[in-house]
Amino acid sequence: MGKIYYTFSEVCNELAIKPHILRYWETEFIQLKKKFAKNSSRRYDTKDLELVKKIKELIYVKKYTYEGAKSELKKRRFKKYIAELKKESPSLKDELLEIKSILLQCSSFLDKVNK
């Protein structure tokens, strides 16, 4: 498929997923947000298509539970976010260490105040 948007049935057919499964995944995975065209039909972009492929792989191939698949998707999103931050800020590690130091100082101060 090389389109910008895909219909609900195109996604189901392309990925060999039954419609009720895809509808259920829309309720279970918050990353898979419903998008509607003017005629109220569901639309999926290429990111959505890749996400559905990943969900299918996690559940059917790797045998994750729904909770496990959700957790894995969150981890992947976090790793992608960190990678993007590293591109923007090569000294990310130094910045994070500084933040950690400040938080430890705050924690120490709060411990003293609460005693």
The domain that contains 45 carries what CATH number? 1.10.1660.10
State how many domains the chain has: 1
| CA neighbor of 31 nearest in space, from 2, 60, 4, 58 | 58
Q: Report the pLDDT value the prediction gives residue 2, as an integer from 0 to 100.
A: 66
Q: Report the pLDDT value the prediction gives residue 17, as an integer from 0 to 100.
A: 95
Asked if 42 contacts 8 with a C-beta cutoff of 8 angstroms, the reply is: yes
Residue 59: inside a domain: yes
Q: Report the pLDDT value the prediction gives residue 87, as an integer from 0 to 100.
A: 72
- 42: Cβ contacts below 8 Å, ≥ 6 apart: 7, 8, 34, 35, 36
Residue 16: inside a domain: yes
Query: Could you tell me the residue range of the domain that residue 43 belongs to?
Result: 5-63
pLDDT < 50 positions in the chain? none
